[in-house]
Chains A and B, each alone.
Chain A
Amino acid sequence: MSLDVMIVDDSAAIRKILHRVLIQADVPLGKVIEAGDGQEALDKLKSAMVGLILSDINMPNMDGLQLLGALKTQEATKAIPIIMVTTEGSSAKVMEAVSLGASGYVRKPFTAEQIKEKLAGLI
C-alpha cells in the first residue's frame, strides 16, 4: 500500500532533498505533494489527502506551527502524522511543536538516517 506525502518548505532545494530521502528510505511512496508555505499546504489538502506531512517552521504567509495548529484542529486532518524539519532548534520551539501535536522534530542540517529514524516509528 502506497503512502501519499506532503512536503511543506519555502525552499525548493529542501523539498527536493526530502523527496530524495523518502525514496532512499524505501517509503512506499504514492503521490508527493509539495507546498511552499502553510497556507498553500492547507489549500492543497482540501482536494488531496495525505498520510504524512514533513513541514518546515519558518515560512512566509503561514508558518509551520500555524499549519500544525490548523491541521490538528480539523477533523479530517488531525490524525495525519506531522514531522517538523527546521532550523529552529530552541527548546521552546520544540516544546511548542510537541504541544501542538507534532509527531517528530528534525533539525536542519539533517542526515538521511535521521529522517529515516523518524519515519520508522510512523510508517
Chain B
Amino acid sequence: MNPLSGYIVVGAILFALGLVGFMSRRNLIVIFLSTEVMFQGVVINAVAFSRLHEHLEGQVFALFLLVIAAVEAGLALGMVVLLYRRRGTLDAEAWSLMRG
C-alpha cells in the first residue's frame, strides 16, 4: 500500500467533512468553520505530497494556505458580524437576495 494513503485518506475525510458541513448547516459561523476544515484537509495533502516528492514547494504552499486561511478568517468573521447586525440572525437563508 502506498505509504501516503493514510495522509491522503485523512485529508480527504477532512475535506469531505468540511464540504458536508458547509452544505448542510445553516449557521453562518458553522459554515465558515466548515470551510476551515476543508482548508486543513488540503494542507495535509500538500504537506504529504511535498514529503513524497522530496520537494519543498508543497510546504511553501501549506504555509501560504495557512496565512490565507488566517486572513480569510479575519475577514469572514468581520463579515459575519456585520451580517448578523443587519438581520439579527445567523441563518444563511436570511440572505437570499439573488434569487432569480
| Binding partners A and B | no
